[in-house]
Amino acid sequence: MKTKIICAAGLLLACSIAWAQGRGDFHIGLIAHIKSLLVPTEVDPGQKATYLFTIQDGSDEYIGYYRVSAAAPDRSKELVPGNPVMYKISGDNVIVMGQEDKEIRAKLCKPTGLGTFQKCGNFAFSKADYP
């Protein structure tokens, strides 16, 4: 019986290590805020929604600009304030691992050097207007 338990524990450990290696770039953070932004369809008819969200990871904070095209599902409901998420930074993107291991890709917002303004791809905003 002890041998079976030890084998099961070893198998579980090996599977956990393999899973973690496949997710090596991902970190755990909390969704601190999410805000829906208005998108006039006259401006961009191929887009149905946009969101700004903040991931808090200890003292680090990352803001993502999530655009939902008209043809894609809106997965913003998976970004619930207070909930932990797996995320990684990849170039100019922040990628959140959503339900069923589907990625939610957003532009990573970065300070512009002009006061509180942040730039996310072609979009810019003032942090004073965002909680």
Q: For residue 19, tell me if it sits in a domain.
A: no
Strands (E), 16-91: 27-37, 47-57, 60-69, 84-90
Q: What's this model's pTM, rounded to 2 decimal places?
A: 0.76
pLDDT score for 24: 67
Q: For residue 20, tell me if it sits in a domain.
A: no
> Do strands 110-111 and 117-120 pair parallel, antiparallel, or not at all (unpaired)?
antiparallel
Q: Could you tell me the pLDDT band of residue 123, with boundaries at 50, 70 and 90? A: confident
> What do you get for the CA distance between the two ends of the chain, in Å?
56
pLDDT score for 40: 60
pLDDT reading at 104 higher than 90: yes
Q: For residue 42, tell me if it sits in a domain.
A: yes
For 82, the domain range is 26-129
Q: For residue 1, tell me if it sits in a domain.
A: no
- Structure token pair of residue 20: 């973690």
Q: For residue 64, tell me if it sits in a domain.
A: yes
Q: For residue 16, tell me if it sits in a domain.
A: no
What residues contact 41, with CB distance under 8 A and at least 6 apart?
47
pLDDT tens-digit map of 64-94: 999 998 888 899 999 999 999 999 999 999 9
- Structure token pair of residue 34: 């999410």
Q: What burial class does residue 15 get, using C-beta atoms within 10 Å of its C-beta: 0-12 exposed, 13-18 middle, 19+ buried?
A: exposed
pLDDT reading at 4 higher than 90: no
**Which comes out higher in pLDDT, residue 48 or 82?**
82
How far, in Å, CA of 98 to CA of 108, rounded?
Answer: 17
pLDDT score for 66: 93
**Which comes out higher in pLDDT, residue 40 or 125?**
125
